[in-house]
């Protein structure tokens, strides 16, 4: 297989820059998520306004606006995570440390959204007299509890590796500090011997 010299020179002069593409895509997706969150926030305010002026029932308007605001918050948080973790320049961080920082924030927002959605459905079905449908909000609340327990398990399992990594770094820094202090005390003894 022979390659032309021009093609080989081109490949060597223009390396594939994944970091620039990654930053561009992260910025694009972040902007899309921020725009969606802004639109949902506007729609939540509009639904609440419709409830105030009486076009729809006030309780229904409040429930609808809270649902939209929660979804907007989750989408906004996702946009923040993408912007913070992927649009910034690549760093030398361990993937578990990055996951421990980003996953809990997003999963917490989703858990809060699920629990509030379940509670709002309980209120809605109670007011409408649809007690047979209460199983659905209960399932939503149970799934939020399972998701929260899974997050706790993830945090616990990744904590051991994270702590061991920190212990190793701490021990290396401690050993370096001890060796430096021993070197300094040895130098000071040598200087005292010179003056004696």
Taking the domains of the chain in order of start, what are their residue ranges?
A: 1-90, 92-196
Tokens of 55: 């076009």
Q: State the Cα–Cα distance between residues 116 and 122, nearest whole angstrom.
A: 10
What pLDDT, in 10s, does the model give residues 131-183?
A: 888 898 899 999 999 999 999 998 888 886 555 555 555 555 555 655 666 55
pLDDT at 36: 95
Q: State the Cα–Cα distance between residues 24 and 82, nearest whole angstrom.
A: 11
187 contact partners, CB below 8 Å, separation of at least 6: none
pLDDT at 168: 53
Length of the chain: 196
Query: Taking the mean position of all CA atoms in its chain, how far away is CA 53?
Result: 38
**Is the model's pLDDT at 61 over the cut of 60?**
yes
Tokens of 169: 């770094």
pLDDT at 31: 92
What pLDDT, in 10s, does the model give residues 147-157?
A: 999 999 988 88
pLDDT at 147: 93
Average pLDDT of the segment spanning 30-55: 91
pLDDT band at 39 (very low <50, low <70, confident <90, very high): very high
pLDDT at 165: 52
């Amino acid at each position: 297989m022979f390659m032309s010299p021009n093609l080989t020179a081109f490949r060597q002069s223009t390396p594939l820059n994944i970091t620039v593409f990654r930053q561009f895509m992260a910025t694009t997706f972040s902007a899309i998520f921020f725009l969606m969150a802004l639109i949902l926030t506007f729609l939540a305010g509009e639904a609440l306004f419709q409830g105030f002026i009486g076009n729809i029932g006030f309780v229904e308007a409040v429930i609808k606006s809270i649902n939209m605001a929660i979804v907007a918050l989750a989408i906004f948080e996702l946009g923040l995570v993408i912007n913070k973790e992927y649009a910034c320049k690549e760093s030398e961080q361990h993937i578990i440390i990055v996951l421990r920082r980003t996953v809990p924030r997003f999963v917490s927002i989703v858990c809060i959204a699920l629990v509030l959605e379940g509670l709002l459905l309980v209120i809605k079905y109670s007011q409408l007299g649809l007690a047979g449908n209460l199983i659905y909000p209960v399932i939503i609340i149970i799934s939020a509890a399972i998701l929260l327990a899974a997050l706790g398990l993830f945090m616990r399992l990744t904590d051991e590796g994270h702590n061991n990594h920190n212990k190793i770094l701490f021990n290396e820094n401690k050993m370096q500090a001890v060796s430096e202090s021993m070197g300094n005390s040895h130098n000071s003894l040598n200087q005292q011997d010179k003056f004696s």
